[in-house]
Amino acid sequence: MAEIANTQHPVILFDGICNLCNNAVQFVIKRDKKSLFRFSSLQSSFGQNLLNQHNLHHAGFDSFILLENGKIYTKSTAALMVAKRLSGAWALLYCFIIIPPFIRNSVYDIIARNRYKWFGKKESCWLPSPELKIRFFD
């Protein structure tokens, strides 16, 4: 576990049954031309262990989490940190980091609370293709 948490690659943790979250992961994969990011669902053993290690609430699975260089970023900050590393104009979204987190996260929380109602959810976690499986932790 420790060697995975200390990986040279940033790790994105996401709600594995949320359609919006799964689509966001697929969006990142398509725009991550250097295959920098690794992924894990919050429901996985890796995700649960990481949440426990960092004393993060893990009952609701309602946060997008980025682990990078041993540091945890959550919610809108995590999303903006990821956008900054994507190919194309997506990196420009990082300029929104200047908006105070309490404002950014208020919008994030509204979306997170309604994500199943607006986007639906799966009965089980999305499974990556065999080619992508090496970028996912269980």
Domain layout of the chain by residue ranges: 2-130
Q: Report the chain's terminal Cα–Cα distance, integer Å.
A: 11
C-alpha distances out from residue 2 to 10, 32, 45, 113, Å: 14, 25, 13, 32
pLDDT higher than threshold 90 for residue 90: yes
Distance CA 40, CA 54 (A): 16
- φ, ψ dihedrals at 120, nearest 5°: 85, 175
Q: What pLDDT does residue 84 have?
A: 95
pLDDT higher than threshold 50 for residue 122: yes
Q: Which CATH architecture has domain 2-130?
A: 3-Layer(aba) Sandwich (3.40)
Distance between alpha carbon 67 and the CA centroid of its chain, in Å?
9
pLDDT higher than threshold 70 for residue 47: yes
102 vs 134, more confident: 102
- Tell me the β-bridge partners of 39: 12, 136
What does pTM read for this prediction? 0.85
